[in-house]
Every structure is written in C-alpha cells, then in structure tokens.
Amino acid sequence: MNPEIIALMGSPVPDGNTGKLLEQAIKGAEDAGCRVVKVDVTQLKFSPCMEYFFCEKNETCMIKDDFTPFIERFKSIDGLIIATPVMTMGIPGALKSFMDRFQVYFMAKYVRHASFITKEQKKWRKTLLISIGGMDIENDFDGVILSTKAFCQITDCPYWDGVFQNNMDKISDITTKPEIMDAAYKKSYEMCSLIKKDMEASGQNE
Ligand SMILES: Cc1cc2nc3c(=O)[nH]c(=O)nc-3n(C[C@H](O)[C@H](O)[C@H](O)COP(=O)(O)O)c2cc1C
C-alpha cells in the first residue's frame, strides 16, 4: 500500500492562497507515490476540548462529534501536511481546536506512557507545515510553528520542515510568487519520498 497522508486545511477559503499552496503540496505528495486525503477542518462540526479529562484513563474522548473518527485515523497515517493562514498571531480557531482535541494522544503518550504510535511508525512519520500571513513583520509564524511542533510531538508525527510566506496583504495572489508555489510542491514531494524510503527500510510498503 502506498503511504497515506492527511492534508489538514486550516483556512475557511477553499480556493484562497492557503488552498492554492496546499493543492501544490498535495500534487507533490501524489507524484511521490502517496495517497492523500484532504480534510477541510473548518467544515467539520466539532466542539473544542472541554477538559472533561475522560481521556486521562480512556483511549478515546467523551465528546462524540465530527472529530471522533480522527482519533483512529491518525493512528495509521504515515504523514501530515498542515496548511494554515496566521490568525491573531497563531493557528486559526477551528484548526487549533482540532489540534487541542488530540489531548487523547497526549494522555496516552505522556500520562499513561503508552503512545498510540509504534516505535516502527515513528521511523517514518513526518509533518510538513505550510503557512501564510498578511503582515510584513518578524516572528509572524512563531505562534503557528510553536503550536504545530507541540501537536507533532503529541501525535508522534514529527515536524519535518515548513514553507512560509508573510506580507500576503501586499502580495495578494500567491501565484505571483512561483518560488513559494514550487517550494510547496517540492518540499511535499521530498518529504513524501522520504516517508516511502523510511517505510521500505523498515520492511513496510513492499
Ligand atoms: C481573523 C484574521 C486574523 C488575522 N491575523 C493575522 C495575524 O495575526 N498576522 C498576519 O500576518 N496575518 C493575519 N491575518 C491575515 C491572513 O493571514 C492573510 O490574509 C492570509 O493570506 C489569509 O489566507 P487565506 O485567504 O488563504 O485564508 C488575519 C486574517 C484574519 C481573517
């Protein structure tokens, strides 16, 4: 079976600039031989984490909603692509709430010391982050990167690399930045090729 990648779309604008970069990355992943499932997080109906702490002792979440299937799905994926605009210096609410619901993984890994992800899977799982921001300021992506890296550790899908473009208020159309469009394709292609290679080295995917 070809490696499976989930592509998380954090922007509410399907064909906006984040969407265009994500399409490039999906193409790169598919060209590298991966199956990609795109998830429009803003279209899902789910609650934020309510801190019921049910997951402290259980392998699932008390809240049943559109997020629920992702608890299982994330156990078997081989890589992640996360595409998001910067909002209020961080990850926009829907995507951030989606990430917070992986407290189920946090409790398994850090409290019960029984990560859902096997040692074998950790050899190949990787995450690519793609992010754009409107402002022309330093540190525009610090919040997004910090949260993403924490999420990647919690889900045992290590942060691999990122593609970033700030100053979008001025640039307006990301296709006028072919080097960034190319970077989204190439980094995704490269990451997905590495995932395949690492899986093969572990005797998977033959
Ligand atoms: C609610 C909101 C908050 C935003 N906050 C920031 C911010 O803190 N820093 C920044 O650089 N851009 C910020 N932006 C601008 C977006 O990152 C920018 O417009 C981006 O290009 C949107 O991409 P999209 O159209 O693909 O969703 C914000 C936009 C919105 C709608």
Is residue 38 a part of any domain in this protein? yes
How many A from CA of 137 to the centre of ligand 1?
A: 13
**Residue of minimum CA distance from atom 1 in ligand 1:** 87
137 CA: nearest ligand 1 atom:
11
State the average pLDDT over residues 188-205.
93
Is residue 206 a part of any domain in this protein? no
Residue 9: which of 30, 43, 39, 37 has the closest Cα?
39
* For residue 206, pLDDT beyond 60: no
- 8 A C-beta contact, residue 29 and residue 130: no
91 Cβ neighbours under 8 A, 6+ residues apart: 10, 84, 99, 143, 144, 147, 148
Q: Is the CB of 181 under 6 A from ligand 1?
A: no
- Binned at pLDDT 50, 70 and 90, residue 204 comes out as confident
* For residue 205, pLDDT beyond 80: no
Is residue 167 a part of any domain in this protein? yes
Helix (H, G, I), strand (E, B) or coil at 150: helix
How many A from CA of 91 to the centre of ligand 1?
A: 10
* For residue 133, pLDDT beyond 80: yes
State the average pLDDT over residues 169-183.
98
**Residue of minimum CA distance from atom 23 in ligand 1:** 85
pLDDT (0 to 100) of residue 172: 98
Q: Is the CB of 18 under 6 A from ligand 1?
A: yes
- Binned at pLDDT 50, 70 and 90, residue 170 comes out as very high
CATH of the domain at 80: 3.40.50.360
CA distance 123 to 120: 5
Domains contained in the chain, number: 1
Is residue 66 a part of any domain in this protein? yes
Is residue 150 a part of any domain in this protein? yes
- Domain of residue 157, residue span: 4-201
How many A from CA of 89 to the centre of ligand 1?
A: 9
* For residue 174, pLDDT beyond 80: yes
